[in-house]
Amino acid sequence: MVREWDPRTASSDEIASLLDTLNAVLAADLPQDPPWRESSLREYLCEVMPGERRISWVAQDGSAAEPGRILGQVHVLLLGDIGVLEVLVHPSARRTGLGRDLVLLAARRVYQEGFRSIGVEVVGDTPAVGFYESLGFTREYVETRSVLDLGAVDWPALAEMATGVGAGYHLEFCPGGPPDDVIEAYARAKAEVRDVDDGELRPSSYDPQRLRDSLDTLHRRGMKPYIVLAIHEQTGEVAGLTEVVVPAQHPTRADQYDTIVAQSHRGYGIDRAIKARMLLELRSAEPELAEVQTWNAQANEAMLKVNAELGYRPDRDWCEYSVDVAELVHRVDSSR
């Protein structure tokens, strides 16, 4: 049984069943990743940025009268001019056609909503690669995910790196997000240095109000942001910044978001210093934290070098795929 599903009104049993399926998928495809927890999972599934919408469906065994466990779930996030897809199918229900049915269901809605393309993040070396390519999705962009084991960090060496910033700069640690009085300078720094290879499925916030909305959304989703700023003392400008988010859903592994150094402030060791300072602060702020994961464009050799110096190790390719919605619906319908 497949039906449209709203996590806001879903029962606690349904949330728990979805969590079981999510962790079964992780155990099969990404066995080194920590399992997710139910803490703030409902909020994680519900909350979106202003102007965005998320539509979800679940597949359950049983009947409409007596629905059972959730075997699959699909949601599509409608943002900008694209629908971003995410599909989960329990390993026990794979190769049954359920995944294709869920994709087709979401694609039809995206088409009805007037969107022309669908994007999806696909983890390298998992069955999802062949699945989406068989549906006509095309690979558009590849990042490398790297993971840092905090248990293997040389903390004295890291402390030395954190003090290796050039004269005329100081670092500030901002748990919860940047203070409001630096939001505009913070947004300017992000707007100035846009990585031309950035994918479009996880857009950064370069506008001050969108940045505020993004921080508010993170908090509502149970995801605590931490920021380290490099401030240019002569001008008070934000010369560099790095962002880490610790999700309540998997608090033992944090997500590194943007790390940016303004063009005119490069060459002073800011990138390595702010990331090292972040790790030192997280050690005391989040004692449960065991790992930090980060994603970088493969062409971003400078940041990959900094990550290697800090102890990050490459883990997986993370790929963005896209497809024309009308072509996808026609292709799947024709193959049924």
Between these two residues, 71 and 204, which has the higher pLDDT value?
71
Domains within the chain, CATH numbers bracketed: 2-144+320-334 (3.40.630.30), 154-310 (3.40.630.30)
Distance CA 18, CA 67 (A): 13
Range of weakest confidence among 161-165, 196-200, 262-266, 307-311: 196-200
The stretch 275-286 carries a mean pLDDT of: 97
Residues 6 or more apart whose Cβ sits within 8 Å of residue 323: 117, 118, 135, 136, 137, 138
SS3 250: coil
Banded model confidence at residue 285, pLDDT cuts 50, 70, 90: very high
pLDDT averaged over the chain? 93
Mean pLDDT across the stretch 263-283? 96
Q: Does 16 have pLDDT greater than 70?
A: yes
* pLDDT surpassing 80 at residue 303: yes
- Is the confidence at residue 72, as pLDDT, over 60? yes
Q: Which class for 114: exposed (0-12), middle (13-18), buried (19 or more C-beta within 10 A)?
A: exposed
Quick check: 289 and 246 in contact, CB under 8 A? yes
Please give the Cα distance from 296 to 145 (Å, whole number). Answer: 7
Where is average pLDDT lowest: 114-128, 201-215, 271-285, 289-303?
201-215
- pTM: predicted TM-score of the whole model, two decimal places: 0.92
CB 76 within 8 A of CB 94: no
Where does the pLDDT of residue 193 fall: very low under 50, low under 70, confident under 90, or very high at 90 and above? low
**Per-residue pLDDT, 202:** 53
How do residues 19-46 score in pLDDT, each as one tens digit?
Answer: 999 999 999 999 999 999 999 999 999 9
